[in-house]
Amino acid sequence: MAAGILPLTLVQIGKESTAGTAVAATRRLLTKSATYRQQQTQEMFDGQLSGVLSRSVTTPKVTREASQLEIATDLDFEQVLFPLLSGVKGGVTPSSPGSGEARLWTFSPSQTAPSVDSYTLEFVVDDGSTKQEVEAAFGITSSFEITGGVEALPQISFSMDARKSTDSTYTSGISLPGMANEFASNLRWSAHMDDTWSAIGGSNISGQVYGFVWGQSALVSPQYYLDGRDTLDFSGVEPMTRTTDVTIECTYDTGASNFVETEMAKKDSGTMRFLELRIAGAVFSSPDAALNRFIKLRGCFVHADDSMEEIGADRDGSSVMSMHLLSQYDPTGGIDADILVQNNVASFP
């Protein structure tokens, strides 16, 4: 029997009508890297007083089961909807900012009862003639990270939790997604820092930011209860206290902008900052030719205690600093963070 061929690996998803009830996949994901884990916790019966010196004389007993999927790939304007719908806010319907193909997706999670869409995950290994599929229901995104720099394409990685894995038959006949105009260079990012939520995105930080990491912790998390489950997996998901964690790499500009010095003063006073990281993509077809694809990462932040603490690092001879920001609730805007995606996708998946 031949070994599985890595480029033939398939990751497919289907949106569940009822969380935890498996459905056939309807979409294939394109990704650079995917790792699937079938997790089992077992009682191994170590240390039994058995009258022999063997490690154990009792067959292991499974006590808990779960699945995980980790994805790492290039950020695009279409597939980014998957971790956002399954990890930030479910049930989102896009609006039409124009009169043509453009669609605006707004992910503003609830402050009291966040909910996400669940998906059935299919992972398929293929040796060129035979496909072996493993799948799990109730897949949700538990964390994600978006990274921007000055080279190549921005990156996204996300982790998913799901219920027990089962061997099954993969869903055939799913076409490859068309990804024309769905990518943008890292150099299309811009950074904006403002004093209020209503003004967010207005003040551009020019010629200083050269990299960032935007990380999001879980908004909901699997929970286990004594529900008599034969499958020994989680009963459902519950809301979690969440954090958006951002690191910005920038030059220590002592000129007119004084960006670092301004932020040092804001840190000293504990003043809230309103950050938008924005990447612009291709324009839409007429009649929406005045609009373009974009992703906007927006949030309310305060500086962490280690923000801008080190002076002396250099980048090609220029003095540089690292800002570390942690999300905080803004009572005026009633928000901590949200994400906007503008593309030509009317529904997902």
Pairwise CA distance, residues 305 & 267, whole Å: 8
The residues, any chain, with a CB within 8 Å of residue 185's CB and separated by 6 or more, are: 152, 153
Q: Which tokens belong to 116?
A: 């996400």
10-residue stretch averages of pLDDT, the chain, 349 residues long: 89 98 97 97 95 95 98 98 98 98 97 96 95 97 98 98 96 93 97 97 94 97 96 97 97 81 96 98 98 98 97 87 97 96 97
Strands 61-74 and 314-315: unpaired
pLDDT recorded at residue 253: 81
Predicted pLDDT of residue 316: 86
Which pair of structure tokens corresponds to residue 143? 């964390």
Q: Could you give the CA distance from residue 260 to residue 132 in angstroms, rounded to a whole number?
A: 53
310's tokens: 């080190």
The one-letter code for the residue type at 194 is D
Report residue 177 as tokens. Answer: 């997604």
Residue 232: which H helix or E strand, with range? Answer: none
E strand segments, the chain: 10-15, 27-29, 33-43, 61-74, 103-107, 119-126, 131-148, 155-162, 166-168, 189-194, 209-216, 220-223, 236-239, 244-251, 273-283, 292-303, 314-315, 318-327, 337-343
311 by DSSP, 3-state: which?
coil
- 46/156 Cα distance (integer angstroms): 41
Distances (CA, A) of 25 to 122, 151, 344: 7, 34, 22
Tell me the helices (H) and strands (E) count for the chain, helix number first.
2, 19
Structure tokens at 306: 């280690």
Radius of gyration from C-alpha coordinates of the chain: 23
pLDDT of residue 311: 87
Report helix, strand or coil for 261: helix
Report whether 194 contacts 185 (CB < 8 A): no
Instruction: Kindly tell me the burial class for residue 103, based on how many C-beta atoms sit within 10 Å of its own C-beta (0-12, 13-18, 19 or more).
Output: buried
- What's the rounded Cα separation, in Å, for the pair 109 and 116? 9
Please count the other Cβ atoms lying within 10 Å of the Cβ belonging to residue 182: 21
Kindly state the tokens that stand for 202. 């207005």
